[in-house]
Amino acid sequence: MEGTAASPLAAARPLVDTFQRRITYLRLSVTDRCDLRCSYCMPEKMKFLPRAEVLSLEELHRLSLAFIARGVRRIRLTGGEPLVRSDMIDLVRALGREVGYGLDELTLTTNGTRLADHADALAAAGIVRVNVSLDTRDPALFEQLTRRNQLSQVLDGIAAAQAAGLKVKLNTVALKGLNEGELPDLIAWAHGQGHDVTLIETMPLGEVDGDRIDHYLPLGEVKARLDARWTLSPSNHRTGGPARYFDVAETGGRLGLITPLSNNFCEGCNRLRVTATGQLYPCLGGGEQVDLRAALRSADPEFRLEAALDEAMRIKPEKHHFRIDTRGAAPAQPRHMSMTGG
Ligand code: SAM
Ligand code: SF4
């Protein structure tokens, strides 16, 4: 079936913020729930939202079409763990039909634990690429970091995705004193398998059980160590996202670095984020928000949604103000990454 979101509105009323940044990318969280408990992401005893507060499949679909109609060309489904939501594949199928009809790309960020079960269906539904989060290949460290013993499921998931024809990119949070020493081997392994890797600095979002400052690792330090081992040259590759890319001559692979703390990248921001409850956050690191669920559930949802998207453009801040330099300081934002969608 063909897509529905022909977009005369996109040309007429594109999403452009007050800093003249055009918004073409949406990160849509489909659930705040997760089957892992990564220690930098959430506390062991994380409280999840009552299901009634979360948008229905139909609401997520309508919302996505409204964004596509205003010029959003890429949607990434995320969470929480998107694959723990039972009707997730139905949403992927519905949005997959929009690819080529306003939408250029539909992607998914997953922890990989359930990827082996879903890889074929994702590929059949129009997903071409998945981002899989993998911070370590050491089973003991994986269990320490995620508080769950599921490394083998994740590795099986990555292999299944590749076998299904999906392009896999790995996301790795760099953590001082934890996976720091393993990063070169992890990158070499991933490149050997044909997967690009992007390293990420840990960000101060939501309370966790420890202090993130203990494991914050500026990627400048990591890059200096990698430079001593390999030949990294800046790549022309651009995704419109915050990563800077390097080609690694010795491995033949590509390495991305996302440095929200040590090097601000907001100038070219092209994205919005929507939580599973329909709260639109125009900035991952900011408190500004617009309630899309109220708009969707109002008497005049079309008008209210349009107005809400216009409001998001008015309030999108110039940049985030993350800092991670004071022990015991409150996080920059009280909400966890699993809520806003990473
Ligand atoms: N559960 C899925 C996963 O792990 O891929 C999708 C959601 S998760 C919140 C998305 C990404 O955010 C993951 O790559 C994770 O490592 C990253 N992340 C979570 N909390 C973070 C934090 N405080 N700072 C930096 N990255 C974080
Ligand atoms: Fe779950 Fe992803 Fe957060 Fe880990 S990073 S706890 S997998 S949402």
Q: What domains does the chain contain, in order, with CATH numbers?
A: 7-340 (3.20.20.70)
Q: Specify whether the CB–CB gap between 232 and 247 falls below 8 A.
A: yes
- Which whole number is the average pLDDT over 20-37? 96
Choose among 71, 49, 34: nearest CA to 338: 34
Under the banding of pLDDT at 50, 70 and 90, the label for residue 264 is low
Least trusted range by pLDDT, from 3-12, 74-83, 125-134, 154-163 = 3-12
Calculate mean pLDDT across residues 148-168. Answer: 98
Asked whether the predicted pLDDT for residue 205 surpasses 90, the reply is: no
**What's the whole-number mean pLDDT along residues 50-54?**
92
Alpha-carbon torsion (308, 311, 315, 318), positive or negative: positive
- Percentage of the residues of the chain whose pLDDT score is greater than 70: 90
Reported confidence tier of residue 98, pLDDT bands at 50, 70, 90: very high
Please report which confidence band the pLDDT of residue 9 belongs to, taking 50, 70 and 90 as the band edges. low
CB 14 within 8 A of CB 8: no
Residue predicted with more confidence, 205 or 105: 105
Ligand 2 center to 81 CA (angstroms): 6
Rounded to the nearest angstrom, the distance between the alpha carbon of 170 and the centre of ligand 2 is 14
Q: Which residue has the higher pLDDT, 251 or 325?
A: 251
Half-sphere exposure of 154 (CA within 13 A, CB side): 25
What is the CA(2)–ligand 1 centre distance, in A?
A: 33
Query: Atom 17, ligand 1: which residue's CA is nearest?
Result: 342
Q: pLDDT tier at 260 (50, 70, 90 boundaries)?
A: confident
Q: Which ligand is nearest to the CA of 172?
A: 1
Give the residue, by CA position, lying nearest to ligand 1 atom 2: 110
Ligand 1 pocket: which of 113, 153, 173 to mutate (most atoms <8 Å of CB)? Answer: 173
Q: What is the pLDDT of residue 1?
A: 46
Cβ of 32 below 6 Å from ligand 2: no
Judge if the beta carbon of residue 37 lies within 6 A of ligand 2: yes
How far is the CA of 35 from the CAs of 32, 44, 48, 53, 80, in angstroms?
10, 11, 11, 19, 9
